[in-house]
């Protein structure tokens, strides 16, 4: 008998928000797998109640921290030592196979086919594509593997101070041994780095299955107005923000539509719940887009190279946004 689960991790309220959106996004995409959240702190009772409604299993774990401030400083992410806690996902041996996903990921299309892959499958990291990114990976729970990972952590540490350095050292033949373990980028698309290759975003954006809000700026650090469908605030360079915005918008729509209503009383600082009809996608305030998902009338390669890109006109990400909305709300009727 197989028993398969998607697994995530949270150690504080901010990432918990991310995990709730992640869980709902998987359900909106019609997953048939179990949803598991590993929790490394004590959430307040109202939040815990919402976690119980959202996930099939809550697993309390103790915090593990690499404490490697020197290497973490290289990434300017001192908070990521705690991602060693992620390694405990190997202890969930009541599941035969799992897919771990960071709490800052958003699923926009069904990804249950990932369970056809074997340990250790992951997508390339955008910072160094011969390494994999540990925001999404397929693995097989095993106390033996867990023990070996801890041994390696003790003897060598992690070269980035977080789980990604350690796991890349452990599964070190990933880049060249077995191509089936290299997941396509659409299963772990780094939202904030799409500005670096815009033509690819326009060409493949509608095929994306998982958006990963990698980096310091997370969707929950931005504001969102449902009324104007506008994302604001945060601290992101403008060129990065332009291309990340549609994905942040989609994240907030799932938060407002699927997560916020689960809290009996509105948490402080939350935004208004928009009144979307249950079966239809919210309508964007940008109304002059072409139908059908794929971008049309976009700039020519020449114009792209000159930097002559009309973000608010023909080259806007409206079409990608429409596709994201359509996918995420396809199954919303069931919830």
Binding site for Mn ion (CB under 5 A): 102, 104, 135, 214
Q: What residues contact 187, with CB distance under 8 A and at least 6 apart?
A: 111, 114, 123, 136, 209, 210
Count of residues engaged in binding ligand UDP, rule: CB under 6 A: 17
Work out which of 95, 117, 123, 135 binds ligand UDP, going by CB under 6 A. 135
Q: Find out whether 297 and 250 touch, Cβ atoms under 8 Å.
A: no
Closer to ligand GLC by Cβ: residue 75 or 262: 75
* Beta strand 223-225 pairing with 230-232: antiparallel
Phi–psi pair at 215, nearest 5 degrees = 105, 180
Q: Is residue 315 within a helix (H) or strand (E), and if so which, with residue range?
A: none
For position 124 contacting ligand GLC by CB under 6 A, the verdict is: no
Nearer to Mn ion by Cβ, of 158 and 319: the residue is 158
Per-residue string for binding with ligand GLC, 89-108, x by CB under 6 A? Answer: -------------x------
21 part of the interface to ligand UDP, by CB under 6 A: no
Question: Applying CB under 6 A, what is the total number of residues that bind ligand GLC?
Answer: 12
Note whether 202 binds ligand GLC by CB under 6 A: no
Question: 7, 8, 28, 122: which one contacts ligand UDP (CB under 6 A)?
Answer: 8
- Is 333 in a helix, a strand, or coil? helix
Residue 126: DSSP 8-state = S
Alpha-helical regions (H) of 216-309? 238-254, 301-306
**Contact status: 164 vs ligand GLC (CB under 6 A):** yes
When CB distances are held under 5 to 8 angstroms depending on the partner's kind, the choice from Mn ion, ligand GLC, ligand UDP, none that residue 11 binds is ligand UDP
214 interacts with ligand GLC by CB under 6 A? yes
Decide whether 85 or 242 has the Cβ nearer to ligand UDP: 85
Residues sharing a CB contact under 8 Å with residue 236, sequence separation 6 or more, in sequence order = 192, 217, 244
Output phi, psi for 167, to 5 deg: -65, -35
Q: Is 152 exposed, middle or buried (0-12, 13-18, 19+ CB in 10 A)?
A: middle
3-state secondary structure 30-93: CCCCEEEEEECCCCCHHHHHHHHHHCCEEEECCCCCCCCHHHHHHCCCHHHHHHHHHHHHHHCC
User: Is residue 12 involved in binding ligand UDP (CB under 6 A)?
Assistant: yes
According to the binding rule CB under 6 A, does residue 15 interact with ligand UDP?
yes
Residue 68 lies near ligand GLC (rule: CB under 6 A): no
Q: What are the C-alpha distances in Å from 131 to residues 81, 153, 215?
A: 19, 18, 17
Q: Which stretch binds ligand UDP (CB under 6 A): 45-53, 74-82, 289-297, 311-319?
A: 74-82
Span interacting with ligand UDP, options 4-12, 57-65, 90-98, 168-176, rule CB under 6 A:
4-12
| Binding partner of residue 160 among ligand GLC, Mn ion, ligand UDP, none, CB cut-off 5 to 8 Å per kind | ligand GLC
* Beta carbon of residue 212, minimum distance to ligand GLC (angstroms, whole number): 7
Closest CB 186 distance from ligand GLC, rounded Å: 16
Distance in angstroms (rounded) separating the CA atoms of residues 87 and 156:
15
Contacts with ligand UDP by CB under 6 A lie at 8-12, 15, 79-80, 82-83, 86, 102-104, 135, 214-215
């Amino acid at each position: 008998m197989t028993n398969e689960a998607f697994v995530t991790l949270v150690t504080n309220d901010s990432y918990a928000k991310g995990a709730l959106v992640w869980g709902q996004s998987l359900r909106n995409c019609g997953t048939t797998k179990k949803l598991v959240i590993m929790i490394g702190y004590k959430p307040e009772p109202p939040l815990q109640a919402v976690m119980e409604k959202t996930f099939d299993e809550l697993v309390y774990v103790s915090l593990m921290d690499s404490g490697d401030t020197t290497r973490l400083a290289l990434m300017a992410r001192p908070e990521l030592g705690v991602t060693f806690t992620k390694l405990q996902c190997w202890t969930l041996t009541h599941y035969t196979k799992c897919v771990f996903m960071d709490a800052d990921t958003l699923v926009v299309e069904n990804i249950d086919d990932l369970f056809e892959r074997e340990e250790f499958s992951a997508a390339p990291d955008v910072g160094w594509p011969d390494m994999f990114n540990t925001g999404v990976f397929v693995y097989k729970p095993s106390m033996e593997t867990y023990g070996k990972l801890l041994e390696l952590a003790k003897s060598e540490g992690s070269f980035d101070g977080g789980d990604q350095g350690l796991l890349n050292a452990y599964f070190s033949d990933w880049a060249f041994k077995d191509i089936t373990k290299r997941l396509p980028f659409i299963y772990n698309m780094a939202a904030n780095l799409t500005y670096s290759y815009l033509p690819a975003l326009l060409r493949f954006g509608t095929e994306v299955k998982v958006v990963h809000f990698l980096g310091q700026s997370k969707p929950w650090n931005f504001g969102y107005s449902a009324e104007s469908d506008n994302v604001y605030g945060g601290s992101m360079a403008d060129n990065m923000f332009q291309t990340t915005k549609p994905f942040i918008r989609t994240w907030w729509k799932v938060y407002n539509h699927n997560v916020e209503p689960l809290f009996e009383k509105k948490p402080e600082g939350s935004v208004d719940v928009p009144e979307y009809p249950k079966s239809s996608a919210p309508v964007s305030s940008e109304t002059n887009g072409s139908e059908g998902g794929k971008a049309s009338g976009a700039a020519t390669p020449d114009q792209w190279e000159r930097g002559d890109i009309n973000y608010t006109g023909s080259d806007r990400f409206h079409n990608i946004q429409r596709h994201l909305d359509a996918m995420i709300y396809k199954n919303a009727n069931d919830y």
